[in-house]
Structure formats: structure tokens, C-alpha cells
Amino acid sequence: MFIHLSSTSNTTKKQTPVLAILTLLPALSGAQPASTWEADVRAADMVYWDAYNRCDIEKLAGMNTESLEFYHDAGGPMIGNGQFVAAMKKNICGNAKVHLRRAQVAGTMQVFPMREGNALSGAVIQGEHQFYHRVDGTEAKLTGRARFTHLLLLQGGTWKVARVLSVDHQPARESGARKEIALTAAQLERHSGEYTGAGHPAPVVQRVDDHLTVTTEGKTFALAASGPDTFFLRGRDITATFAHLGGDAGSTVTIRETGKIVAEGKRSKQVQH
């Protein structure tokens, strides 16, 4: 879930075994359609992480149960919503010059129902996420990756986070499994051009010596090739994928950050080096 919150409490309050809770996932059919409850859980998760990224601690606290249990693989447990709030104020949101942003890793989210008989009582949502640090207004840098599991309880029609497992923290995998390869000038020129956007900012792609650059919204980035039509930005989870449609149909480019489309377009003019 989070970068280590550095709680220093030595509470001796009895802790509920989280792994025992997570095994209680019976394959029962409930009265509420899966599409309804799952959409609600995913929506609540989005609101929760939006509040986290904005350091809206009051919003976060209101979405937790008072008996929240938070387990971190390096920082140990925190018991109670009060400890969570204090740690957020001191650490994650304690320095106005440092901003931490969490981003979901596309395709990793899973949601499971928790039921008592046929009645829906909660849900488990789990996945992977990455963390970006921005210091004193500089460009945000990808710094870490982890797995998270949240147990949410349905209380009075509202989803509340009751248990958290934050595990498998590791350094950022800047280029993941990507391996940089060398392309010829002709292979790079094949992608150069001005692209017309379709709902997203339109990029301009150019060959500069032995690599491509992409310019969008006034910013220019150097791309490394991982294949003839696939590129990535070193140090960031940003990719560019080109598609050549053949004939007069032209070419397209799609640029994604952490799996989300941030720029795309169809080539309207080719630009030669």
C-alpha cells in the first residue's frame, strides 16, 4: 500500500491474524450481482488513492474503520486509525517540499467478495503499485514498487478499509523486463512525424542521431528502443508504441504512463532528420 509510514508505537493490543481473514473467501453466490459490488469496491479504491495522492488525510481517515490494522513488511504493524493518521501527518505528508504519488500497475488489480451466508459483508482488493517522488518541484521520479491487499468491510452501506497488507517492497524497475536495442537510422525515421491527437495531446516524433525524441505539451523526452515499433523512457514507466496501418491509412502512436494513455495520434506529416 504505502511507502513505510515509520510508526513507533509499542502497542500491545491483540492483533487479528490477517492471513486467517484472507482465507475466508467462500465461493458462494450472493443476491447482489458481482458487477454491482465490484464496481462499488473499485470506485471506493479510486477515491481512497486519490485522497492519498492529495494528502487529504481527513478523507482517508473517514474511509478507514477505527480498528484499522496496517501491516508493513519493513515497518511493522500499526493498530488503530489514530496511529495511521499520526504517521501520515508525520511522514508521507509531513514535508511540503516532498510529494509522493502512488500509481496502480495496470492489469494487476483483483477483487474478491466476502460474504456471511448469502449476504455481502466485505471485499478483498489486491494488486501492485508504483511510487513516484517529486522533491521541491522537480520532475517526479519512479522510486519503488510494492504489492498491496486491502480488506474492506461494508458498514451501513459504506465501504471501509479494515485491514491492510503492504508487502514485497522493492526498488523501482525502471525499464521492467525491457532490454534496449539499437535500431538503424531508417528504422527510426519510419516513426518520425507530426501526429494529430484524438482525445489526447498530439506528439511530435523525431530522430535525433541514434534515438527518437517525442515532444508533447511543450516537453521533449528521449526514447530508447525495445523493439522496431516499441520504445520506452529510461527511468520512467512510460512507453511509446507505433502501428503502421499500411497503404494510405498511415501510422499511429500511443504513449502510456503506468499503463494509462497520456498521448496518442495519427501521423499527419512525416518529419525527416
> How many Cα atoms sit within 13 Å of 134 on the Cβ side?
11
Are residues 144 and 195 both part of a single domain?
Answer: no
CATH number at residue 34: 3.10.450.50
Are residues 145 and 189 both part of a single domain?
Answer: no
Paired residues of 204 in beta bridges? 194, 215
**96 found inside a domain:** yes
Q: How far is CA 195 from CA 70, 72, 214, 216, 241, in A?
A: 47, 45, 11, 10, 13
Q: Which one of 171, 200, 216 terminates a domain? A: 171
Are residues 55 and 190 both part of a single domain?
Answer: no
Chain segment 43-80, per-residue pLDDT in tens: 999 999 999 999 999 999 999 999 999 999 988 899 99
Q: Which one of 171, 205, 238 terminates a domain? A: 171
Are residues 132 and 211 both part of a single domain?
Answer: no
Cell 517529486 maps to which residue?
A: 134
How many independent structural domains does the chain possess?
A: 2
98: left (phi over 0), alpha (psi -120 to 50) or beta: beta
**1 found inside a domain:** no
**23 found inside a domain:** yes
**37 found inside a domain:** yes
**179 found inside a domain:** no
Q: How far is CA 136 from CA 89, 99, 143, 254, in A?
A: 18, 8, 16, 30
Give Cβ neighbours of residue 246 (< 8 Å, ≥ 6 apart). Answer: none
Quote the pLDDT of residue 48: 96
Are residues 167 and 189 both part of a single domain?
Answer: no
Are residues 114 and 138 both part of a single domain?
Answer: yes
pLDDT beneath 70, residues of the chain: 1-35, 172-177, 198-199, 235, 246-250, 258, 271-273
DSSP per residue, 16-39 = --HHHHHT-------SS-HHHHHH
Are residues 198 and 158 both part of a single domain?
Answer: no
Are residues 133 and 88 both part of a single domain?
Answer: yes
The DSSP call for residue 93 is: T
Q: Which one of 127, 144, 171 terminates a domain? A: 171
Strand 98-104 and strand 110-116: the pairing is unpaired
**263 found inside a domain:** yes
> How many Cα atoms sit within 13 Å of 273 on the Cβ side?
15
**34 found inside a domain:** yes
Strand 204-208 and strand 211-216: the pairing is antiparallel
Are residues 67 and 154 both part of a single domain?
Answer: yes
- Are 120 and 84 in contact by the 8 Å Cβ rule? The answer is no
Chain segment 81-97, per-residue pLDDT in tens: 999 999 999 888 998 88
**41 found inside a domain:** yes
Are residues 166 and 189 both part of a single domain?
Answer: no
Quote the pLDDT of residue 32: 55
pTM as predicted: 0.56
Taking alpha carbons only, the member of 73, 53, 44 closest to residue 153 is 44
Q: How far is CA 187 from CA 47, 206, 244, in A?
A: 43, 12, 12
Quote the pLDDT of residue 123: 97
Are residues 22 and 152 both part of a single domain?
Answer: yes
- Are 100 and 3 in contact by the 8 Å Cβ rule? The answer is yes
Burial 199-214 (b: 16+ CB within 10 A, else e): eebbbbbbbeeebbbb
Are residues 120 and 242 both part of a single domain?
Answer: no
What is the residue range of 33's domain? 18-171
How many percent of the chain have pLDDT more than 90?
45
